[in-house]
Every structure is written in C-alpha cells, then in structure tokens.
Structure 1
C-alpha cells in the first residue's frame, strides 16, 4: 500500500465551521473541541507504526490461516493454553496520537468478507479487535464483548482463541490502558496484558509513560514479555512537513483562524507553546478563540495565542511544556509521566525526538564550548579572531557574579524571547 493510498484511508477532513459567530462562546468552543478531536492528519510516524502492526498481523495470519483444514481445526479445537505472542507496546506522551494510530490501523484494514466452506455455516471475516479499557475489568469480560454469538460471555482464553480464529482476527488492539487502575494496578494490568497476548493474534497496547513506569517494576520475566517490542511515538519536529500539514488542517476548521493560517510564524509559535503535542494544540487554540471572543474580535491573532498560553486554563499544559524543555537538556527535571523508562527504545520516526528551539540553541552553544576547550592557545586565538569574538579574561581578584537559580518559567520565557527575536530578524528561516 502506497503512502498516498494509506493517507486517503487514514485522513479525516473537517469541513470548516462557518456558524461559530452566531453561537454562544461556550457552544462555539464545544464545536471546535469536537472538530479537533475528530480531525486526523496522517503523518510519517502513523504510517510507520501501522505498517509495523500490519507486518505482525500478516506473519500471524500466514501461520494460522494456512488452509481450510487448519482453519477448521483451530475453530473447533483451539490450541490448549492459547497461542502466546509477545505484545507490541505503543507508548508516548499523553495526547501525542497513540489512540489515533490504533484507530487508524482498524480503519485501513477494516475490510469484512464472508468465507464460505462446504458443509459449514458461513464465517464472517474481519481483521482486528479494537478494545478500549475504561475501567478495572478482566480479560474474559473484555474479550467476551467481541463475541458475535451466544451471551457475549467468554468462559476461557481457549474459547477466545477459537472465536478470534472464527472471525479471522489478525491483531488485537487495546487502548487507554492507563484507565485500568486499582491499588495494585501494575500487577493487575500486567496480568491482563499477558492474558490478552495469549489469545493468539498479535496484541498491540497503547499506554502513557505513567503506567509504563509501574509496569516496569514487574519481575524481569514479565518485563521481557511485555516490552520485547516497544515503539515510542514522539512529537513532530517544528519544521517538519508533518507538523506543517497538521497546523494547516487544525487552523482550517473555522474562518476565525484564517489570520493565523496566513502568518508564517504561526507553526513555530504553536510548536513552541505545545512541544508538538497535538492535543495541546487543540486546547491552546480553543482558549485562543475564547480570548478573541472576550475582546470582541473576529479573527484569532498571535496575541490571542500568547494570552492563551499564559492563561489559567492552559496552566497544566504550560507546566508540561516547560518541564519537557528543561528535561530535554537535563532529564532529572522530568516527572515520571513525561519520560519513557525504557532506555534505547525504538522511535517510530527516523527523525528522532522533536527538539524545542531552546534545546537546539543549548546544543549549539555546548558544541562551541566543547570545540573551544579542545583548541590550543594559538588555535583559540585564531578562532576568536575569525569569529569576531574574544574571550574575556576574568580578573582573579574580581568576585564571582551570583545569579539566582533559573526557574522553569524563566527558562521557557527566555527561550521564547530568543526564538521570537530570531524569527523577526530572519523571517524566511
């Protein structure tokens, strides 16, 4: 399947909302929220992850659905104890798009057909089970909800295996695992995952970092099974094609955002204030729209976005962005819900983690200092002469300058001022 064909199946376009001005602010904001929630803009990461899931599903199908005889035997006499496979763990920051990826896989591979075998009732074949975990429930109850016949109850995992084969299921996708909570959530959730993975079809489960930290405390034999195939979803880069396409689509949901859409620095501003997290973009734009209505304007401006960023409503997301910027430079600044506990985890994009402009500037300066420290005195003098800078020699008698420790808010404000100055100086960059 080509990228173009997959994108056609994945994309969910939202027709512009043309009647927001006639609604109350609360009604308009609700309509906008629903529109951004439904909006799906395919990305490189989304296609890569879906192809990984599809590959695992294909390998399973080739092993299980080999011929008529094998198919019927597994339907009527499923393997005892199921057919255990290592699950695929899909993780990333909250709001990064994990649920959209799982829903996208089901949408791309949603073809259903009727399989006719002589002497047997027709089998209705589909591709995957999509299960959303909303409460503290067990594997049998979750699996029973996917049964097509009977009372919708699953008596054993072997019965679930037989039902999955009967339906031609090639993958089981489970979402929202962070809502499977209890006092001993890590033990119960680990048990649930292992039970679901023993049904047979490859299990894909999406989880935020907070639950991942809990699961990572499980015994090593469980960790080896649960995290043998982890995939990390990361924010889009601020200058990437994927980010640009998403911003265009997000601003296209209503004509009130047309001024922002025509502003060349809007994509960079939105990335700076959200760290590339799409859910945060929707929240920031909704608050920006509210600020526009308060001042009785008709178009959302950059000033409205800046006001929204500093608002009380955006405080939690703003704190996350601040910590993510600091944590990209110093990991110890991050809380557990903002970083992945698995070292060396495979990222779903070849481009790596999107870097905030403040991080890029920090790395540039660190590289320059490393270069200077490796030069001889003659080489350093030549470097300073060529670059137009000269290192100031500190007087041994001069007391050191004491500066107050940098706070998270000061760090992000400094990064914003630096970026804004650079964009104004060179708007084409």
Structure 2
C-alpha cells in the first residue's frame, strides 16, 4: 500500500486533465428582475467571480508545482522503510520556495484554489508500522492573514499538540515529523502581504524562512508591494526567498483566454448582457486592464447603471457610465496608472503596480493602451471644438466615440436548401412543357 504515496500523482500533470479539472463555468444567474437592484447586482457579481478560465501560465504553473510535489513524494516515500525513517528522522535542509506574485486581483488566489483541486485528496495507507490504516494528505495550506510569526503557523499545523512554551526549533522538528507521517508533499502559504502591516518585511522574512525549514516544496503568494520590500532585505534573505519567482500577468486584450472569459460572462448573465463578444471584451479590458477582479466590479456597476435606466439588460453605454462613476474611482485610477506605465515605460511612482522583477509588458498590451490614449485625445479635441448647441446635439445623438464601432463583418447569407426530385421535376415542366390556355 505504500505505493499509493507515489501513484496518487499519476496523470495529474496531463495538460488536458488539468484544463478540464480547473475550468469553472457556473450556472447562469436566476431571475434578478424582481430583486432589489443592489442585491441583484451582488448576486450577479457572485456568479461572475466563480468563472475560471485557465490560460497558458496557469496550466504550466500548476503542472510545475504538482510535478515538484510528485517528485518529493517519490523520493521520500517510495518504500515503507524510507517512509518510517523519514517520520522519525526527518532530513535537515531548506528549500527555495516558489514565489507567485502579480497585480492585486489578477487571479492568484483562484490559481491556488485550482491547484488545490488538482492535488490528490486524503487517502488511507496500510503499513506494518501502524495497527490500523493511516490517513495521508498531499499538501498543507495556510493563510498568513492574522499570523504574527512563523511559530504561530507551525503551531497551527500541529493543532492541539502545539504548545506556546516550545521554541521554534522544537516546533519545526515536530512539524517535519508530522509532514512526513502524513505524506505532505507541498506547502502553500497565501496572503503574505497581510502579515507585515506597519512592521516592514522582518516578520514576513522570519515566517518564510521558518516555513522553508520544513524541507518540502513550498509556494507563497504575494502582491507586488511586499516583494518590493523583500528586495530591500539582505542578499542572504533574497537568495532564499526570491530565487524562484513566477509573475502572473493579466490576459492580453486579444488573447483567446480573455475572449473566452468575456464569452462566459455573457453566458452567465443569462441574457442580461446584450453586446457583441469582441466589443464587450475590448471595452471591459479598457476599463479593467485585464484584471479579473476589476472586470467583475465593472460589470456589477454596469448592471446597476442599467437598472437605474429602467432596463434589465446591460449595454456598452452602461459599461462606459460604470467606468466613469464615482464607485469605480479608485479602480479607474489604478487602470489609468497601469496604462501610463505601459506607454511611457518609466519607473512607476506606485510600487504596488510595478512588477518588482522587471517583467516586460507585452507588446499587444502596449499597442492597446496607446490606441486607447490616442482615441481619448482625439475625442477630447473634437468635443472641445463643439459649440454648446453642437455639444448638446452630439450628446442626444449618442455619437460619443466611446461607443464601439459597429461590426463590419458581412452578414452570412442563408444557405439554399437542397432541391428534391419532385421540385426539380416541377421546375422542368414549368419551363419546357407547353402552356395550356
């Protein structure tokens, strides 16, 4: 039965299996028309948050992490003797954790949730060392929110067996034993940026170095802001904590995953979004920079704008008004700063929006931002040249250039039905038979 420790990972890194397992397409929203607008908008946003369409980065990242966990399990739990020996005499050392970072709201938490869905679930093994089957697990997960130190995290892993009187060295040794006993092959630490509020990066460094002492593959998740602080630490800390960065970028505006995501949003709306997929994808990207959290908020506010206009469906004009609304002000400020960075390519004043590892922005994102800037400038010049009367007429006719241009695609002609033998005979007789007066 010890073979289960390695066979439990079989087939989990297959790309098709990964995509099928982690893709989430929620059921369309139910009838929202009779619900109070704010509550209906929140329910609508809740369904949109459930959508998860993986891109290439997500699939490759999950495959890499699962592969590392499988390798660790195969090397340490391949035989019963190795398993029992590791349980009582854990190997010393440390690992370089993988640092998953990206803009706030880009989808890091959803990626970790997808990773956890792929990892093997609890299973029972039978070995001679135990009198009854023992339950093993594939990974440990912990949120760093509210944790004061690495010692507190270790105590949480031990549960009721942990004691505040024990020092970190004893707790770490016991956690290593517990990890080997339970077959733990991966540790995931999330929301690291919430540890060090007002305390600098010292607490985070202590926590991460303590966790790396477990000597099992580890992933920690953080926003850009914390990574900038860790980069100011001494070289020995940076080498241990930031040697394996994985930067998660927003989807490109013309990418297939982004189009699929918007298409799924339309499907989840159950007919409440009435816009072409290409047009909506362009407008939502313009207002969110491809950040999924902002896209959901923008569509939520768009639904409220539609309800305020006595409509139950969302059009592109609602997306425009939602982007300009006061409720979206802070997000709009972030989006415009990101666009400015993409165009000017200089160091940003806001470190929380600048990649700490110098990852270049995709060329198609830069082109999209430049085109949007040029359109805004042309619109401002045009509107500035209008007289008050012309401006009012322009507003009434809804000729604002914010509106997406109509599709230039030709309508597909209906196909001609295949004629039957009877219809062909009738046509022949009609042409060649003499007319009867």
Give CA-to-partner distance per residue, 1:87-118, whole Å, 9 cap, x none: 10001100001111111111011332111101
Where do residues 128-167 of structure 1 align in structure 2 (5 Å cutoff)? 128-147=139-158, 150=161, 156-167=171-182
Where do residues 225-244 of structure 1 align in structure 2 (5 Å cutoff)? 225-244=240-259
CA distance in 2, matches of 1:100, 1:189: 22
Q: Using the TM superposition, give the Cα deviation of residue 426 of structure 1 relative to its aligned residue in structure 2, in angstroms.
A: 7.0
Q: Using the TM superposition, give the Cα deviation of residue 360 of structure 1 relative to its aligned residue in structure 2, in angstroms.
A: 5.5
CA contact (8 A) 2:155 2:171 kept: no
- Alignment CA distance shift 1:412-1:423 (3 Å): closer
- Alignment CA distance shift 1:119-1:222 (3 Å): closer
| Structure 2 match to 1:181 | 196
Is 1:38 aligned with 2:50?
Answer: yes
Q: Using the TM superposition, give the Cα deviation of residue 298 of structure 1 relative to its aligned residue in structure 2, in angstroms.
A: 1.7
CA distance in 1, matches of 2:379, 2:223: 28
CA contact (8 A) 1:33 1:282 kept: yes
| Structure 2 match to 1:413 | 376
Larger radius of gyration: 2
The correspondence for 1:250, drawn from 265, 270, 282, is 265
Q: Using the TM superposition, give the Cα deviation of residue 119 of structure 1 relative to its aligned residue in structure 2, in angstroms.
A: 3.5
CA distance in 2, matches of 1:152, 1:297: 59
CA distance in 1, matches of 2:33, 2:206: 51
CA distance in 1, matches of 2:94, 2:311: 59
Give CA-to-partner distance per residue, 1:201-241, whole Å, 9 cap, x none: 11101100111111111101100111110010001011111
| Structure 2 match to 1:272 | 286
Ranges in structure 1 where 5+ consecutive residues have no aligned partner: 363-409
| Structure 1 match to 2:405 | 424
SS of structure 1 residue aligned to 2:183? coil
Give CA-to-partner distance per residue, 1:2-46, whole Å, 9 cap, x none: 333212211222111122111111211221232222322222221
The correspondence for 2:324, drawn from 304, 310, 318, is 310
| Structure 1 match to 2:302 | 288
CA contact (8 A) 2:45 2:299 kept: no
Using the size of structure 2 for normalisation, the TM-score is 0.78
Q: Using the TM superposition, give the Cα deviation of residue 255 of structure 1 relative to its aligned residue in structure 2, in angstroms.
A: 2.4
| Structure 2 match to 1:15 | 27
The correspondence for 1:4, drawn from 1, 12, 16, is 16
The correspondence for 2:69, drawn from 57, 60, 80, is 57
Where do residues 346-361 of structure 1 align in structure 2 (5 Å cutoff)? 352=362, 355-359=365-369, 361=371
CA distance in 2, matches of 1:422, 1:258: 16
| Structure 1 match to 2:126 | 116
Two-structure CA RMSD over aligned residues (Å)? 2.8
- Alignment CA distance shift 1:35-1:190 (3 Å): same
CA contact (8 A) 1:60 1:202 kept: yes
Give CA-to-partner distance per residue, 1:144-168, whole Å, 9 cap, x none: 3334774688851111111111111
CA distance in 2, matches of 1:417, 1:168: 62
Deviates further, 278-287 or 150-159: 150-159
CA distance in 1, matches of 2:24, 2:43: 16
- Alignment CA distance shift 1:166-1:231 (3 Å): same
Q: Using the TM superposition, give the Cα deviation of residue 299 of structure 1 relative to its aligned residue in structure 2, in angstroms.
A: 0.9
Using the size of structure 1 for normalisation, the TM-score is 0.80
Ranges in structure 2 where 5+ consecutive residues have no aligned partner: 1-12, 382-399, 411-437
- Alignment CA distance shift 1:412-1:48 (3 Å): farther
| Structure 2 match to 1:83 | 93
Deviates further, 43-52 or 325-334: 325-334
CA contact (8 A) 1:236 1:354 kept: no
- Alignment CA distance shift 1:361-1:40 (3 Å): closer
CA distance in 2, matches of 1:282, 1:228: 33
CA distance in 2, matches of 1:148, 1:115: 22
CA distance in 1, matches of 2:106, 2:234: 29
